[in-house]
Amino acid sequence: MESDIKSGYLYVLVHPSDPTLYKIGVTVLDPEQRLSQHNHQLEKYVGRIVKETGQKWELKTYIPVADPYWAERKFWAATPLADMPFLLGVEVQTMEWNWVQAGLDAAMAAGVRTRSLQKGKAVKNHDWMVNQLEGTGITMIERYRGLVTGMEFQCGKGHVFKESASVLASRKSCPCCVDWNWLSGPRKGIRASLR
């Protein structure tokens, strides 16, 4: 199959300040080169951790992958964090190693997207989001800013909450009205207190 997908690597960085703090990423560069970039780009999220702690990220492991973004998608889908896609764009998380290993196993088995997934991607814009919310009683009260950026929504009962469009499109409910059962992370136990 002819494809314009460039092979690369899925890598796992660990920070010496916390052995459970991982950065997951993909690159077409050599993983050591990408590590160096992360440790020197102090204005970016990963680099700010270097600046704040005075300690550099370390390369824990990496795997070659035929389709980096597909492998990354499969990685996150295999973790308990799957319901929080890209966690508002931050791929740095405190995780148990068995979660990371499950993600690596899934990424290694990912292969390459099929032609139908490579072409004809659905446009997930403002109109798409309005369509996703149809019948839920939820409306956007902020300008649509993409799938992973948090924005404000309001449910029919008047609850105002901030969430990413992708999570809300998946859940199709108000987190103040329905317990989303966040098992871990910064949202654990928060939703029930909003009722």
Q: Containing H/E element for 51?
A: helix 45-53
Number of domains comprising the chain: 2
Q: Containing H/E element for 170?
A: helix 165-171
What tokens were used for 133? 């919310």
Closest CA to 175 of 145, 146, 136: 136
Question: Are 112 and 68 contacting, i.e. CB atoms less than 8 angstroms apart?
Answer: no
One domain, residues 93 and 140: no
One domain, residues 72 and 50: yes
The neighbour count for residue 149, using CB atoms within 10 Å, is 13
Q: How many residues are recorded in the chain?
A: 195
pTM equals 0.58
**pLDDT digits (tens), the chain, 195 positions:** 445 678 999 999 999 999 999 999 999 999 999 999 999 999 988 999 999 999 999 999 999 999 998 998 899 888 887 655 445 456 788 899 999 999 999 999 998 887 545 555 567 788 888 888 888 899 888 888 888 888 888 998 888 888 888 888 888 888 888 877 766 555 554 444 444
Query: Is 3 within the bounds of a domain?
Result: no
One domain, residues 17 and 77: yes
One domain, residues 95 and 140: no
Query: Is 1 within the bounds of a domain?
Result: no
